[in-house]
Chains A and B, each alone.
Chain A
Amino acid sequence: MIADTLILIFLAIGLVFNALGVIGLLRFPDVYTRLHASTKATTFGSIFLFLGVVVFAISQYLGTSDSQYLMVITHTIIAMFALAITNAAGSHAIARAAHRNGQKPQQAVVDKLAEAGL
């Protein structure tokens, strides 16, 4: 019963943050601010969706002690870490490439990187 409530809460949080990430992606003015929204919010939302799956698998494992649920738990946690690390590195790569491609940050008050001229 506690597990069910916990799963519902986790899935709801995950859905809300994923939706906010996509709304930010549609709403913000330039590529850097869009990266802010998409990277942070979808990483956080997906982590919560995965936590919902992990809680489900733990409750099933405690109920049935079927060892395939153990595999579900570890593999979901591995996917969680892979997603968190690769999202951060990927957003870093996109931001750097966008700046080298000549995208100006819109509404920006300062651009020290263009002044440094790297």
Chain B
Amino acid sequence: MIDIFGITALLVILIAFGALVRLVIGPTVPDRVVAVDTINTLTVAVMILLGVVYQQYIFIDVAIVYALLSFISTLYVAKYIGGEL
């Protein structure tokens, strides 16, 4: 059963590379911010899956903190490109 979570984590990482393509080519700055936001969401999912795979449930706490911190960084970058900072 654990193997399935490992395979899923691997596939989610592969999907995240697709978002990395948009991060590299994306013509404008907001496009890149969207790509980073997507990668952050997928990273949280991968952390929780890996926590189950390695039986290290502290990863899930790390994932919660990572989700909140990535939200704050997204907000600040959005404020910056919107010219409100």
Interface residues of A (CB under 8 A from B): 4, 7-8, 11, 14-15, 18-19, 21-23, 25-26, 31, 34-35, 38, 42-43, 45-46, 49-50, 52-53, 56-57, 68, 71-72, 75-76, 78-79, 82-83, 86-87, 89-91, 93-94, 96-98, 100-101, 103
Contact = CB atoms under 8 A, between A and B. Distances in A.
A87 B22 CA distance: 18
Main DSSP-derived SS at the A contact region: helix
A50 B48 contact: yes
Given A15-B11, A35-B34, A72-B57, 14 more contacts: A11-B8, A18-B15, A22-B19, A25-B18, A25-B22, A31-B30, A49-B49, A53-B5, A76-B48, A82-B64, A87-B41, A96-B78, A97-B84, A100-B83
Contacts of A89: 71, 75
A43 B41 contact: yes
Interface of B: 1, 4-5, 8, 11-12, 15-16, 18-19, 21-22, 28-31, 33-35, 37-38, 41-42, 44-45, 48-49, 51-52, 57, 60-61, 63-64, 67-68, 70-71, 74-75, 78-84
A82 B44 CA distance: 11
Contacts of B15: 15, 18-19, 22
Nearest to B14: A19
Nearest to B16: A22
